[in-house]
Structure 1
Amino acid sequence: MRVLIVGLGGVSRAFRNWPERTLGQALVAAGHEVTALTYWQPDQPHLGLTERAEEIDGIVVRRVKPQLWPGRETIAALESLPLPDIAHVIHPRNVLALQAVRWLRRRGVPVVWTWLGPYHDRWLVADRERPYESTIHPEWLIYTLPQLITRGLRDGRWRDHWRNYAIHRPLRDVAAFIPCSQHEAQVLRELGFTQPMSVVPLWLDMTFMDGPAPSLEATFSQPIIPYIGQLTPRKGYDVLVAAMPAIIARHPQASFVFVTHNPAQRAELQRLASELGVAANLHFLGTLSEEQKLALLRASAVLPFPSRYEGFGLPVLEGMAAGVPVVSTNIPVLNELIRDGEDGLLIPYNDAKALAEAILRVLDDQALRERLIAGGRRALRERFAPERLVMQVIEVYRSVL
């Protein structure tokens, strides 16, 4: 089968576990021919999206300027590639989708879509950073030209309404959805989509995660407690900082190591740490290579993941794969990944006190720690095995061909 993946930046040498790469990698391993059409972003070299064309893990990668309209690079790339049997679009704000889906439909190529987090959509939620504290607005989404014209005549916000339409119109042409969670499937149904849906969670490059890692280049006092994610309110970095004093009171040498490729709120992070008197225990590393991130995880005592919203939550699986107990928020999707007390711990939303208590439980209870590590490894084998999950994806492909 010839498969085209239409993603954002997801097939990159810089990131091993982005979903476009792990999907393509597993499809190649299953004997299929895979091409990925993704963003070209030379202004952000740390993302590894500077080459226009390359091959990664057997995936033929073509990168184009991310543009909704007229999308000439997208169309030119599609016309230069062999016609796929099926296309798989990934991400809710994929600006390549408008032209790509139209082009593919005209040639009879069916499209499936993994939306990968409905509340990342700024037209659906009033606050993408805290969607569970916000109002959801399905009525804001624009799927048709009459809706676009009506909204534009009403308030004159033509540019914003056009982008809204361009992002959401392709969803109507999808042959099937492959939601990455039951929550995503539920939201799609609530939005009125009636296409077939088969929930298939994401997975990791387990060959890499189980392979050798170099020594950790930086030196930290134990226990090491990492934060891995963007420095945005959605990821809950402030919740972890607020939990630090209680943890440091019992473990004065604890090292809180912050790793991120989006340091947007680093100044606020440092301000909060100074205000709480824990700045000496905070270490900011910024962007790490995948190898060094794996080394950090393996050296860590516990992985806090106090997110306020996740489309999926790959760091949870990365923690499990690295043999570090995970503590995360009891919110949709994350509570599909973690079975509380078996392969991780779940805490109430936005609760720094509960986060500190859960981290201390892991640090101070060796039996609990060992049970969670074993449970995490079992979860990866039983629920997130790439070779089994990719076959579920392939079955969806076959069902719509």
Structure 2
Amino acid sequence: MRILIIGLGGVSRNFRNWPERTLGQALVAAGHEVMALTYWQPDQPHLGLSARVEEIDGIIVRRVRPQLWPGYETIAALETLPRPDIAHVIHPRNVLALQAVRWLRRWGIPIVWTWLGPYHDRWLVADRERPYESSVHPERLIYSFRQLIRRGLQDGNWRDHWRNYAIHRPLRDVTAFIPCSHHEAQVLRSLGFTQPMTVIPLWLDMDFMTGPSPELALNVTPPIIPYIGQLTPRKGYDLLVAAMPAVIARYPQASFVFVTHNPAQRTELQRLAEKAGVAANLHFLGTLSEEQKLALLRASAILPFPSRYEGFGLPILEGMAVGVPVISTDIPVINELIRDGEDGLLVPYNDAAALANAILRVLDDAALRTRLIAGGQRAMRERFAPQQLVAQVLATYQLAREIEGA
């Protein structure tokens, strides 16, 4: 089968576990021809999206300028690439989708979509950083040209309504959905989508995660407790800083290591740490290579992931894969990944004290730590094995082809 993946950055040498890359990698390993159409972003070299055309893990990658309209590069790339048997679109704010889906429908090519986090949608939720504290507005989404005209005539905000339409219109032309969580499937159903849905979680490049890593090039004292993610309220970096004093009171040498490729709130991070009196224990690394991140995880005592919202939560799987106990928030999607007390710990939403207590439980209790590590690695074998999950993806592709008569 010839498969086209349409993502954002997606397939990059710089990130081993981005979902477009792991999907394509597994499909290639299963004997299929895989192409990827993704964003060209030379202005952000750390993302590794500067080459217009390259091959990664057997995936033929074509990068185009991210543009909703007129999308000439997207259309030109689609005309140049071999005609796919099926297309798999990934991400809710994929600006390539408008023109790509129109082109695919013109040729009768089945389309599946992994939305990958419905509450990343700024039109759907009032606050993307704290969606579970804000209101949800499905009535704001624009799917038809008639809705677009009516909204524009009502308030004159044509530009925003056009973007709203361009982002959401392609969803109506999807043959089948592959939600990455039951929560995502539930939201899609609540929005009125009736297409077939098969819930299939994401997975990791396990050859990389279990392969060699360099020595950790970092002079810090154990226990090492990393933060891996964007410095945004949604990721809960402030909650980890608030939990630090209680942990440091018992483990004065503890090193809290912050890794991020989005340091927008670094100043606020430092301010919070100084206010809490824990700045000496905070080590800001910024962007790390995948190899150095793997070395950091393997050297860590625990992986806190205090998110306020996740479309999925790949760092949780990364922690499980390398044998680090994971602590995260008891919110939708995450509580589908973690079975509390078995392969990780869940703490209440927005509760820094509970996060600190959970960290101390794992640091203090060797038996608990051993049980969580074993449970996490069992989960990776039984629930997140790439060969098992890609077989489910392929079955959904076949269903979509049958629906379209392909």
What TM-score do you get using the length of structure 2 for normalisation? 0.99
- Cα offset, 1:219, TM superposition: 1.5
Give the Cα–Cα distance (whole angstroms) in 1 for the partners of residues 381 and 321 of structure 2: 10
Which residue in the other structure is 1:374 paired with? 374
Alignment of 1:263-302 (within 5 A): 263-302=263-302
Which residue in the other structure is 1:92 paired with? 92
Alignment of 1:103-252 (within 5 A): 103-252=103-252
Give the Cα–Cα distance (whole angstroms) in 1 for the partners of residues 106 and 44 of structure 2: 34
- Cα offset, 1:322, TM superposition: 1.0
Counterpart of 2:343, as a letter, is D
2:6 is the counterpart of 1:11: no
Give the Cα–Cα distance (whole angstroms) in 2 for the partners of residues 26 and 69 of structure 1: 32
* Offset from partner CA, 1:301-333 (integer Å, 9 cap, x none): 000000000000000000001110000000000
- Cα offset, 1:67, TM superposition: 0.1
Give the Cα–Cα distance (whole angstroms) in 2 for the partners of residues 294 and 368 of structure 1: 23
1:54 aligned counterpart, secondary structure? strand
Following superposition, which runs of at least 4 residues in structure 1 exceed 6 angstroms of deviation? none
Which residue in the other structure is 2:54 paired with? 54
Supply the RMSD in Å over aligned alpha carbons: 0.3
Give the Cα–Cα distance (whole angstroms) in 2 for the partners of residues 53 and 297 of structure 1: 32
1:199 aligned counterpart, secondary structure? coil
Which residue in the other structure is 2:404 paired with? none
Give the Cα–Cα distance (whole angstroms) in 2 for the partners of residues 155 and 144 of structure 1: 17
Give the Cα–Cα distance (whole angstroms) in 2 for the partners of residues 212 and 45 of structure 1: 25
Aligned residues: 401
Which residue in the other structure is 1:43 paired with? 43
- Cα offset, 1:173, TM superposition: 0.1
Alignment of 1:19-34 (within 5 A): 19-34=19-34
2:368 is the counterpart of 1:399: no
1:399 aligned counterpart, secondary structure? helix
2:304 aligned counterpart, secondary structure? strand
User: Unaligned regions of 5+ residues in structure 2, if any?
Assistant: 402-406
Counterpart of 1:64, as a letter, is V
* Offset from partner CA, 1:130-186 (integer Å, 9 cap, x none): 000000000000000110001000000000000000000000000000000000000
Give the Cα–Cα distance (whole angstroms) in 2 for the partners of residues 87 and 205 of structure 1: 22
Give the Cα–Cα distance (whole angstroms) in 2 for the partners of residues 361 and 98 of structure 1: 49
What TM-score do you get using the length of structure 1 for normalisation? 1.00
* Offset from partner CA, 1:85-142 (integer Å, 9 cap, x none): 0000000000000000000110110100000000000000000000000000000000
| Percent of residue pairs bearing the same amino acid type | 83
User: Unaligned regions of 5+ residues in structure 1, if any?
Assistant: none
Counterpart of 1:65, as a letter, is R
Give the Cα–Cα distance (whole angstroms) in 1 for the partners of residues 249 and 128 of structure 2: 34
